[in-house]
Amino acid sequence: MAIHRDDTGAVVRLDAAPRRIVSLVPSLTEALAASAPGTLAGVTDWCSHPVDLDAVRIGGTKNPDIDAITRLAPDLIIANAEENRPDDIDALRSAGRQVWVTDIRTVEQALHSMARLLTAIEAPSCSWLDDARSRWDGVPQTPAAKRRRAVITIWRRPWMHVGSDTYAGDVLRRLGIDNVLADSPERYPRIRLEDLPPHDLAVLPDEPYAFSSGDGPESFDPLPCALVDGRSLTWYGPAMVDAPLILAGQLAMATHAGNRPAAT
């Protein structure tokens, strides 16, 4: 038996390389599908990548069907400290299941955490992880004079934003965007737009709220808005490979004069 510790320090015991895995995290589902094909027995209703994934759906990230997961008799369950509720993780462990909890708040943590997990499960195909590290290591530093101060808004009604200690915040930091709420006591504070600190850019991803050219930018006018790919901004896994290029292009469009989305 191999004894490991997950990102939270909890012990995970594996008799052998897992062959039946349940993933409670969409981004990690994509990573497992790419790295250990055929091992996913169950995934959440929100696991949309890869699009042809064939696995039992076991509910949402916040409301997984514990009984359905147990019936699948998984060798290992993959969860995340932010995405999944502690009560559900405790219930699965109480049912005798091995649960590996990731805790990812920076790009570097994502690369390190996934490398540890994929090594532990003896995943046979991890070339994308090397590609992701190479792409992120190759992102040039942005001179101080060219950095932007942004609010990263993820929901409306009520307005919610990216606060402190988040993966999305670190992704943008590496791309020259400083989060004006990086020192917030909350990771995802609810703040009215009129109460936000001074900023010169609004970053609006298309998930979890589907901001679009006709829904969101008008609220920040006349400031420029960057409509960005939410998967590139918040998913750690194979999405990390192309994320720097995708996001840099979308951010550049917002910073060029004349490219501000029209108000409605």
CATH of domain 2-125: 3.40.50.1980
**8 Å CB contact between 137 and 115:** no
Instruction: Give the pLDDT confidence of 36-78 residue by residue, as tens digits.
Output: 999 999 999 999 999 999 999 999 999 999 999 999 999 999 9
**Three-state SS letters, 184-205:** CCCCCCECCHHHCCCCCEEEEE
The percent helix, strand, coil of the chain (3-state, each to 5) is: 35, 20, 45
The tokens describing 156, both together, are 């409306």
Instruction: Give the pLDDT confidence of 232-258 residue by residue, as tens digits.
Output: 999 999 999 999 999 999 999 985 433
For the chain, how many residues are written? 264
Instruction: Give the pLDDT confidence of 153-207 residue by residue, as tens digits.
Output: 999 999 999 999 999 999 999 999 999 999 999 999 999 999 999 999 999 999 9
What is the C-alpha to C-alpha distance for residues 196 and 207, in angstroms, rounded to an integer?
21
Q: Are strands 11-14 and 2-5 parallel, antiparallel or unpaired?
A: antiparallel
What is the C-alpha to C-alpha distance for residues 96 and 73, in angstroms, rounded to an integer?
10
Give the pLDDT confidence score for residue 254 in this predicted structure: 85
DSSP classification of residue 143: P
Instruction: Give the pLDDT confidence of 212-231 residue by residue, as tens digits.
Output: 999 999 999 999 999 999 99
What is the C-alpha to C-alpha distance for residues 117 and 112, in angstroms, rounded to an integer?
9
CATH of domain 143-255: 3.40.50.1980
CB atoms within 10 A of CB 111: 19
pTM for this structure? Answer: 0.92
> What percent of the chain is modeled with pLDDT above 70?
96
Give the pLDDT confidence score for residue 255 in this predicted structure: 54
Give the pLDDT confidence score for residue 1 in this predicted structure: 85
Fold: same for 2-125 and 143-255:
yes
Give the pLDDT confidence score for residue 186 in this predicted structure: 97
Q: What are phi and psi of 40, to 5 degrees?
A: -80, 115
Instruction: Give the pLDDT confidence of 103-159 residue by residue, as tens digits.
Output: 999 999 999 999 999 999 999 999 999 999 999 999 999 999 999 999 999 999 999
Domain boundaries, the chain: 2-125, 143-255
